[in-house]
Structure 1
Amino acid sequence: MQHLLFVYGTLRQGGSNQAFLEKSEFLGQHETLPEYALYDLGAYPAVIAGHHRIVGEVYLIDDVTLARIDKLEDVPIEYRREQIETPFGLAWIYLYQDTSQLDVLLSSGDWCQRV
């Protein structure tokens, strides 16, 4: 089965985990509606419900890739998956679950633009 996946952090082009998507089809860039908040956890980001837009990329992936990324994201412990609307169709997004860990908001919504 094929899935759409919206990625906003280390899975994006140039990110430390981008190799997970090497056999997947890059469909394009996407910016979400202002319904989320992006936080910097140091080595990786976290997205939760909020009032900012999130910048990312959409990929067409298969079941094996989705399962591998679920393991990377520690679903359902650290992250959970939900679907969002994109220009390419409904795509999975990973949302962080432990909001007590969140201190550094990236109001730009773009993990690749953090300093």
Structure 2
Amino acid sequence: MNKHLVFVYGTLRRGSARAMSIRFPGSRFVADAKVSGSLYDLGAYPGLLLDESNSMVIGEVYEVDNETLIS
């Protein structure tokens, strides 16, 4: 089964009622992480645009399988 690394931020982080590990029990926490980018208001969900700005988005990396990624 293929495994993928997924970066999550905001309400998908640990400690939230919508945390990745709660919404997707097949996911496995790998590490805290940060990426260079900007968040944009897209309505119901924020969007992340990776860029070379000085802004850092704090998040977490999870390992997920194909089934979890598709769901």
What TM-score, normalized to structure 2? 0.72
Partner of 1:16: 18
Give the fraction of aligned pairs with identical amino acids, expressed as a percent: 39
Q: Does the 8 Å contact 2:26/2:65 carry over to 1?
A: no
SS at match of 1:54: strand
C-alpha separation between the residues in 2 aligned to 1:16 and 1:48?
Answer: 22
Displacement, 1:29?
0.5
C-alpha separation between the residues in 2 aligned to 1:41 and 1:29?
Answer: 25
Alpha-carbon RMSD: 2.0
Aligned 1:32-71 pairs, distance under 5 A: 32=35, 34=36, 36-50=37-51, 51=53, 52-68=55-71
C-alpha separation between the residues in 2 aligned to 1:58 and 1:17?
Answer: 12
Structure ranking higher on relative contact order (CA contacts 8 Å, 6+ apart): 2
SS at match of 1:65: helix
More off after superposition, 38-47 vs 55-64: 38-47
Q: Does the 8 Å contact 1:27/1:59 carry over to 2?
A: yes
Q: For residue 6 of structure 1, what is the amino acid of its counterpart?
A: F
C-alpha separation between the residues in 1 aligned to 2:38 and 2:17?
Answer: 20
Aligned 1:73-112 pairs, distance under 5 A: none
What TM-score, normalized to structure 1? 0.48
SS at match of 2:62: strand
Q: For residue 16 of structure 1, what is the amino acid of its counterpart?
A: R
Q: Does the 8 Å contact 1:8/1:57 carry over to 2?
A: yes
Displacement, 1:53?
1.4
